[in-house]
Structure 1
Amino acid sequence: MEFNIVDKLLAITSLGSEWVLWLLLALSVISLGVIVERLIFYARIRLDFVNFSREVTRRLIDNDIDGIKGMCSTSASIESQTILRGLEYKERGVDAMEQSMTGFLFGEKQKLDHGLVILGTLGSNAPFIGLFGTVIGIIQAFSDLATNPAGGPSVVMAGISEALIATAVGLIVAIPAVIAFNGFQRVVRRKLSNAEAMKNLVIAHFSE
């Protein structure tokens, strides 16, 4: 018996494109979940950095280390926690302070990036998944025409219009994911830059 790969692939298209729509729906739920979780997380570590850095600078000039500790301990922001981590190693010298803050920032970067790979992947691939569903639908439409020639072009047009829905849904899933991914990436870069600035400010104060 001769193996015909085309016939095997055509058999797959008989499943239709509806399962692709269900897949895209599931991916949209995942994307929305990640977006909401990230919004809550970034809101929790939000900080008025301009006023915060100004106050930290003033207290460093006044050598009010206890005041800085008290101010930073009330905030969950990465900037304030970076300062606290450095001050914990104050007695061990500037090098220990710098290394402790650098290590802390590496760990915090993973927390800041959590879930963003999902948004990036969905934003890049959801349109292709939708296009795949459209191609399957178009193949199925022409297959229906071949088995029912009397139906005429209306059979094909109806099938193609249904198939194009998959591409539209793919774009609907991808666009918010891309927007959120780019926005969150900007937040991550800004938070890490701010924390790095605070690290340098503290190190400069305690350097001889």
Structure 2
Amino acid sequence: MDSSQAFGLAHLWAQSDTIIRSVAVILLVMSITSWYLILTRALRQLRARRHGDAVENFWRAPDLEAGLKLLAEAAPDSPFEALAQQGAAAAQHIRRHTRNDTLGGKLDADEVITRALRKSIALSTAALESGLTVLASIGSTAPFVGLFGTVWGIYHALVNISVSGMATLDKVAGPVGEALIMTAFGLFVAIPAVLAYNAITRANRLELSELDAFAHDLHAWFSTGARIAAVTPRTAGQHEAALRVARSSPAGSHGAA
């Protein structure tokens, strides 16, 4: 038999024991699990790119009901839709159960809306982070699982060589090289998992920041009936300049005195 065909994956599997085969199966399961999580998260991120336009369409709607309908059509089952629905449900609950228009009633209403929005964000955060622990565990443990297979394979190969009594280089290189394949398998499983974990974590962080901004706008709208206007760098500079002028003017100095 040709030496290039005498050693390989098939020969490693045929000559390996139960431990080596178990390690190979574990790495295969890890790889399938990580790629399943990677593909499902990638598809979700592709759908999530439309959420920004859906939020803008929500604010362009003539009323809340129309905005919720547009949001449900453009971003169904998204954290943004869940947040708007939760806020609307809290506001409707307040309108049904608030009997007087006192200061205490307003404070309670504001607290109800805040808690409802926080609850929705917490649930969305848990959903976004689902599976990341598994992906991080695979990325951190797969190299060591492969290394264990390599160590055990080298030990098994050296035992067989010592039994045969033929410790020449050509007899040692093949079994040891086969055992090193397990380390390569471990790296093959771990590297995509680690890269995907970092990418998904960054994407989740950006989405949660957008969700938090949307929650602030919803809270302001349900509390005051108007959305907080976005402050651009230009308008911020104008406000700061106006404030400096007011402070430097005699009236401003007199007021400060």
User: Shorter-normalised TM-score: what interval?
Assistant: 0.7 to 0.9
- Contact 2:58-2:71 within 8 A present in 1 as well: no
Task: Give 1:59-70 correspondences, 5 Å limit.
Answer: 64-70=63-69
- The alpha carbon displacement at 1:44 in A equals 4.3
- The alpha carbon displacement at 1:41 in A equals 3.8
RMSD: 2.3
Letter in 2 for 1:163: A
Match of residue 9 from structure 1: none
- The alpha carbon displacement at 1:161 in A equals 0.2
CA distance in 2, matches of 1:67, 1:138: 68
Task: Give 1:120-199 correspondences, 5 Å limit.
Answer: 120-199=136-215
TM-score, scaled to structure 1: 0.81
- The alpha carbon displacement at 1:45 in A equals 4.4
CA distance in 2, matches of 1:133, 1:124: 16
CA distance in 2, matches of 1:159, 1:150: 13
Asked if residue 87 in structure 1 is aligned to residue 103 in structure 2, the reply is: no
- Contact 2:59-2:67 within 8 A present in 1 as well: no
Deviates more, 1:197-206 or 1:84-93: 84-93
- Contact 2:161-2:171 within 8 A present in 1 as well: yes
* Structure 2: runs of 5 or more not aligned: 1-15, 95-108, 225-257
- The alpha carbon displacement at 1:155 in A equals 2.1
CA distance in 1, matches of 2:43, 2:196: 13
- The alpha carbon displacement at 1:190 in A equals 1.8
Write the deviation string for residues 63-122 of structure 1: whole angstroms up to 9, x where unpaired: x32332222222222123212211222241332122111111111222111212111111
- Contact 2:146-2:182 within 8 A present in 1 as well: yes
Write the deviation string for residues 119-140 of structure 1: whole angstroms up to 9, x where unpaired: 1111111011000011011112
- Contact 1:78-1:191 within 8 A present in 2 as well: no
Of residues 43, 61, 68, the one that matches 1:40 is: 43
Point out the structure with max Rg over C-alpha. 2
TM-score, scaled to structure 2: 0.67
CA distance in 1, matches of 2:211, 2:130: 18
Match of residue 107 from structure 1: 123
How many residues were matched structurally? 192
- The alpha carbon displacement at 1:182 in A equals 1.4
Of residues 10, 13, 21, the one that matches 2:24 is: 21
Asked if residue 73 in structure 1 is aligned to residue 89 in structure 2, the reply is: no
CA distance in 2, matches of 1:14, 1:26: 19
- The alpha carbon displacement at 1:52 in A equals 4.0
CA distance in 2, matches of 1:55, 1:34: 31
- Contact 1:145-1:152 within 8 A present in 2 as well: no
Query: How many percent of aligned residue pairs carry the same amino acid?
Result: 29
* Structure 1: runs of 5 or more not aligned: 1-12
- Contact 2:58-2:68 within 8 A present in 1 as well: no
Deviates more, 1:73-82 or 1:196-205: 73-82
Letter in 1 for 2:36: G
